[in-house]
Amino acid sequence: MTDWKTQYSANIMKSAALPSAELVRGEGARVWDSEGNEYLDFLAGIAVLSLGHAHPALVNAVSTQIATLGHVSNYFATPPQLALAERLLRLTGGDRVYFCNSGAEAIEAGIKLARRTGRPRILSLQNSFHGRTMGSLSLTGKPALREPFEPLLPNVEHIDSTIAALEAAIGPDVSALFVEPIKGEAGVIDLPEGYLAAAREITAKHGVLLILDEIQTGAGRTGSWFAFQREGIVPDAMALAKGIGGGVPIGALVAYGAAADLLVAGQHGSTYGGNPLVTAAADAVLAEIESAGLVANAAARGAEIRAALGGLPLVEEIRGQGLLIGVGLSKPVAPAVVASAAAEGLIVNAPNDTSIRLAPPLIITEADVAEFTTKFTKALEANA
Ligand SMILES: Cc1ncc(COP(=O)(O)O)c(C=O)c1O
């Protein structure tokens, strides 16, 4: 049989680097590769697997729903779609939700809301990540990702994450400001203290939509259901994906107040958006996060990890909230630390040369944190 690397190199489009292993099975916070190696998974499919791998609640929901009614079309309503909408609106405080298939698509829906205001300009932040489709890429604040695909959407400005920059850029021709409460892909970078509250006040004053990207921070990961809820603000819309589906591809745009009525019949849609299979899955994931107290677990385990990281070799800075943690290193050795961690049986990731991102499943236990600490310490020591 051809080995997986040869097959991958020959058959998969070269849009991503060659993976480091071929994973074949997962359970809880653990995965196994095709050579039989076991890993503690502290990346969770990049902040996706809220319940870890093969959680019975998700397995049962998907199995039951595919055997009952797997797909219809948006000509028909289904009970799981309605149940998920109710639960999401209760948890987010939103007024209406649009369902799609990914984070980038949730951002695209947000761009459509912005366009419906009739104002041409859009603001987003430098160093942000909002996705790779042409619209979401236009908002992404990393020139190296955008430049090979220009021209992108016109009238998008990437501003500094400061209130002064927002005040200088905002005006009556601005439709929306897109913001990640924590910049995950940038290396888990927190916004300046008080930024969201001030941005809310300024955008409201100018009639500009505040659209939050909680694709990576949402669904309990930061130790509150949604990161914005700690700031005492209400956005006009919020993009969700990743953790709400726990591994099943789903995205959602939750809208608040007048923004909830900006799109009218026929203006947006997607074949699979809100289909019964994925909405049953996401509803089961959110129900389990609620009933098992996983938001509180994310806060508690996150605090333990933070405490354990303090004083370890190479660790210069600890960023993020709950179980979305950025470890700032004193030397640009993050890729080597990731490789050493994998050799120890631990999956983490390096969004850049000086940052390690930790985004384990929300189900991790104190014992998992202890195991992580032992393995991560060895990985850091090997590169100090
Ligand atoms: C903050 C943020 N926005 C948008 C996206 C894009 O989501 P997707 O990859 O599901 O299109 C991501 C994915 O990493 C993300 O982290």
**Residues of the chain above pLDDT 70, percent:** 100
Distance 249 CA to ligand 1 centre (A): 12
Check residue 116 and give its pLDDT.
98
The CB of 216 under 6 Å from ligand 1? The reply is yes
What pTM does this model have? 0.98
pLDDT beyond 70 at 70: yes
pLDDT beyond 90 at 141: yes
CATH for 4-55+293-381, options being 3.40.630.10, 3.30.70.1450, 3.90.1150.10, 3.30.1330.30: 3.90.1150.10
Q: For the chain, what is the mean pLDDT?
A: 98
User: What type of residue is 167?
Assistant: E
**Residues of the chain above pLDDT 90, percent:** 99
Locate the ligand 1 atom nearest the alpha carbon of residue 249 and give its number: 10
Q: What is the mean pLDDT of residues 276-298?
A: 98
Give the class (CATH, top level) of 57-291. alpha beta
The CB of 184 under 6 Å from ligand 1? The reply is yes
Q: Where are the domains of the chain?
A: 4-55+293-381, 57-291
The CB of 103 under 6 Å from ligand 1? The reply is yes
The set of catalytic residues is: 129, 213, 242
The CB of 178 under 6 Å from ligand 1? The reply is no
Q: What is the mean pLDDT of residues 206-218?
A: 98
Check residue 122 and give its pLDDT.
98
Distance 242 CA to ligand 1 centre (A): 8
pLDDT per residue as tens digits for the range 299-330:
999 999 999 999 999 999 999 999 999 999 99
Q: What is the mean pLDDT of residues 276-288?
A: 98
Distance 276 CA to ligand 1 centre (A): 23
Q: What is the mean pLDDT of residues 222-229?
A: 98
Locate the ligand 1 atom nearest the alpha carbon of residue 214 and give its number: 1
pLDDT per residue as tens digits for the range 331-358:
999 999 999 999 999 999 999 999 999 9
Here the tokens at position 4 are 């997986």
Distance 364 CA to ligand 1 centre (A): 23
Check residue 40 and give its pLDDT.
98
The CB of 102 under 6 Å from ligand 1? The reply is yes
Q: What is the mean pLDDT of residues 129-133?
A: 98
pLDDT beyond 90 at 58: yes
Q: What is the mean pLDDT of residues 215-229?
A: 98
Check residue 2 and give its pLDDT.
73
| 6: Cβ contacts below 8 Å, ≥ 6 apart | none
The CB of 62 under 6 Å from ligand 1? The reply is no
Locate the ligand 1 atom nearest the alpha carbon of residue 107 and give its number: 4
Closest CA to 43 of 57, 58, 26: 26
Locate the ligand 1 atom nearest the alpha carbon of residue 131 and give its number: 6
Give the confidence band of 1 by pLDDT, cuts at 50, 70, 90. low
The CB of 217 under 6 Å from ligand 1? The reply is no
CB-side neighbour CA atoms (13 Å) of 55:
26
Distance 173 CA to ligand 1 centre (A): 27
Check residue 119 and give its pLDDT.
98
